[in-house]
Amino acid sequence: MTKPTLDSLMKGMEASWRKNWCSGGVCGCMGCANGSGRLMQHGYTKAEWQAWVAANPDLVSKEAEKAEMDAFIASIKAKNSILTSIS
């Protein structure tokens, strides 16, 4: 099985998780790159994550989180509109 790239994993996870690396033992999960985002499962280290975050500040910003949430809300509204037109 081919190991997914760090870039594909980071871009595929929720924006709010990208900026968090959890070092807690007991999970009270609010989402993090290494746990929820599965970076450790695929063998990526905190140093590799830190390098990616430093190289991609636009993808770990509050603006990235807001854009992701706005897109999610728009998709829900569109689905709601379709369901409303059917009934």
Helix (H), strand (E), coil (C) string for 43-85? CCCHHHHHHHHHHCHHHCCHHHHHHHHHHHHHHHHHHHHHHHH
**Which among 10, 4, 9 is positioned nearest to 59, based on CA atoms?**
10
Q: Is residue 1 part of a domain?
A: no
Q: Is residue 21 part of a domain?
A: yes
Give the pLDDT confidence of 9-24 residue by residue, as tens digits. 999 998 889 988 988 6
Q: Is residue 60 part of a domain?
A: yes
Cβ count within 10 A of residue 37: 23
Chain centroid to CA 25: 21
* Predicted pLDDT of residue 37: 87
Q: Domain of 41?
A: 6-86
Global pTM? 0.72
Domain total in the chain = 1
Q: Is residue 32 part of a domain?
A: yes
Q: Is residue 53 part of a domain?
A: yes
Q: Is residue 11 part of a domain?
A: yes
Q: Is residue 72 part of a domain?
A: yes
